[in-house]
Amino acid sequence: MKCTGSCECGAVTYVIEAEMPDVTICHCGQCLRTSGHAWASVSVPVDTVEIAGTENLKWFTSSDIARRGFCTECGSSLFFERIGKNRIAIGAGTLTQPTELKTGKHIFIADKGDYYDISCDAPQYDFYE
Using the contact rule CB under 5 A, the part of the chain among 9-17, 22-30, 34-42, 98-106 near Zn ion is 9-17
Contact 5, 90 (CB under 8 A): yes
- What one-character DSSP code corresponds to residue 24? E
Residue 63 has φ and ψ, to the nearest 5°, of: -165, 180
Q: Is 26 helix (H, G, I), strand (E, B) or coil?
A: strand
At residue 29, what are phi and psi to the nearest 5 degrees?
-60, -35
- Contact between 73 and Zn ion (CB under 5 A)? yes
CB nearer Zn ion, residue 9 or residue 46: 9
Site for Zn ion (CB under 5 A): which residue of 74, 104, 105, 125?
74
- Specify whether the CB–CB gap between 6 and 14 falls below 8 A: yes
Considering only the stretches 13-21, 71-79, 88-96, 110-118, report the one whose residues sit in contact with Zn ion under the rule CB under 5 A.
71-79
For Zn ion, which is the closer residue by CB, 26 or 71?
Answer: 71
Task: Tell which one of 7, 44, 92, 107 touches Zn ion (CB under 5 A).
Answer: 7
Taking the C-alpha atoms of residue 95 and residue 119, their distance in angstroms, rounded to an integer, is: 23
Which CB atom, from 18 or from 74, has the smaller least distance to Zn ion?
A: 74
Residues that bind Zn ion (CB under 5 A): 7, 9, 11, 71, 73-74
